[in-house]
Amino acid sequence: MTTTSERPSETLTREVSKRVSQSVFDGSPLRVVLLVDVYDGAQQQFLEAYELLCAQVAQVPGHVSDQLCQSIENPSQWLITSEWESAPPFLTWVNSEEHVAMVEPLHSCVRDTRSLRFHVVRETSGAAAAAQSSGSRRLQTHPRIGDGVIRHALTFTVKPGTEDKVRKILADYASPEARVDDTTRLLRTSLFMEGNRVVRAIEVRGDLLAALRHVARQPEIRAVEEAINPYLEQDRDLDDQESARMFFTRAALPAVHHVTAEAAGAESARLALCYPARADQGMRLAELLAQSDQAAADDPRSAVLRSTVFQRDDVVVRLVDVRGDDVDALPRDAGAAAEVRALLAGEPARMDLVTDRRSQGA
């Protein structure tokens, strides 16, 4: 029973905060905020490049609107906000080769960018706008409860026949300093391989971008990256800013869903499974796997303690902490399992663990 000193929202928060759950599959509208730092004197060039890009983005399925703003205090600072029907169509576009080609004209006039993505949880509008609204917009019923940890991954392929050499290089590296700054810390890095594909999953508390830049500056990490360069299928030059930017843009493997069961403090093993999706089916495959692991988190008999699903194009990776040393590759529900199979271009494969390192105190 709610006491007189408790508000309904406080009771609701307690009810939904028993489990950590983060997801792009809520179905609510997405607001994307892009902070842009433009080179001095390049403002007109940036505006022209944006106008060309804006016309192209308007044709992307799921896109609703865009707005470009320039700081009244510093003309080099710009803000782009866009709204999308939901997160999946945005992520499908932003992680595509089409997007890489679209934004290329911006690179010569932009010093730095920072992208932030938000689900719309609540909104208000004036009476006129409310009267025109169809009321069909789906908003979250309650906020998701996180654990302050950001999960991200990179994936790339190496030349066939070089897998053993790459595995040894990646297994022998010296861990970078965990502390990034007063608010950001590296918590855990897990490296897996399946065939010639490498997946590096990281967990960060604080600012992901600051952590990635911190890691890239560490001599021990730079040495590893230089050592594997000759074996990469996609050429890159770490001394060329544009070459490095394009490589890591294509390598990004964002987390689209994470769930932690209430019993996640138990002893666990960390596994990774790779799911090759049919063309244009990666997002739907990731959603089905996310739904399956969300249901597993509700089942105290399940072996799944934590699950993070990463997806980019037709590459889907499921990182799972489990009781024991194994996990079902397909959903236990027969209907969901059949749909997953229909979306696969090949068999799901358990990846080999190369290294799994926790930072001290993590």
pLDDT (0 to 100) of residue 146: 83
CATH topology agreement for domains 30-120 and 149-358: yes
Asked whether the predicted pLDDT for residue 1 surpasses 80, the reply is: no
What are the residues facing 204 on neighbouring strands? Answer: 150, 186
Domain 149-358, second-level architecture: 2-Layer Sandwich (3.30)
CB 83 within 8 A of CB 65: yes
What are the residues facing 217 on neighbouring strands? Answer: none
- HEC profile of the chain: CCCCCCCHHHHHHHHHCCCEEEECCCCCCEEEEEEEEECCCCHHHHHHHHHHHHHHHCCCCCEEEEEEEECCCCCCEEEEEEEECCHHHHHHHHCCHHHHHHHHHHCCCEEEEEEEEEECCCCCCCHHHHHHCCCCCCCCCCCCCCCCEEEEEEEEEECCCCHHHHHHHHHCCCCCCCECCCCCEEEEEEEEEECCEEEEEEEEECCHHHHHHHHHHCHHHHHHHHHHHHHECCCCCCCCHHHHHHHHHHHEEEEEEEEECCCCCCCCEEEEEEEEECCCCHHHHHHHHHHHHHHHHCCCCCCEEEEEEEEECCEEEEEEEECCCCCCCCCCCHHHHHHHHHHECCCCEECEEEEEEECCCC
4: confidence class by pLDDT, cuts 50, 70, 90: very low
Asked whether the predicted pLDDT for residue 133 surpasses 90, the reply is: no
Counting residues of the chain whose pLDDT is more than 90, the rounded percentage is 63
34: confidence class by pLDDT, cuts 50, 70, 90: very high
Domain range list for the chain: 30-120, 149-358
Q: pLDDT per residue over 264-322, tens digit each?
A: 555 789 999 999 999 999 999 999 999 999 999 888 888 899 999 999 999 999 999 99
Q: pLDDT per residue over 147-183, tens digit each?
A: 889 999 999 999 999 999 999 999 988 888 899 999 9
pLDDT (0 to 100) of residue 324: 87
Q: pLDDT per residue over 253-279, tens digit each?
A: 999 999 998 655 557 899 999 999 999
3: confidence class by pLDDT, cuts 50, 70, 90: very low
Instruction: Return the closest-CA partner of residue 330 out of 283, 296, 282, 280.
Output: 296
Planar angle of CA 237, 239, 244, nearest 5 degrees:
55
pLDDT (0 to 100) of residue 11: 42
pLDDT (average), residues 243-253: 89
Q: pLDDT per residue over 73-97, tens digit each?
A: 999 999 999 999 999 999 999 998 8
CATH 3.40.50.620 fits 30-120, yes or no: no
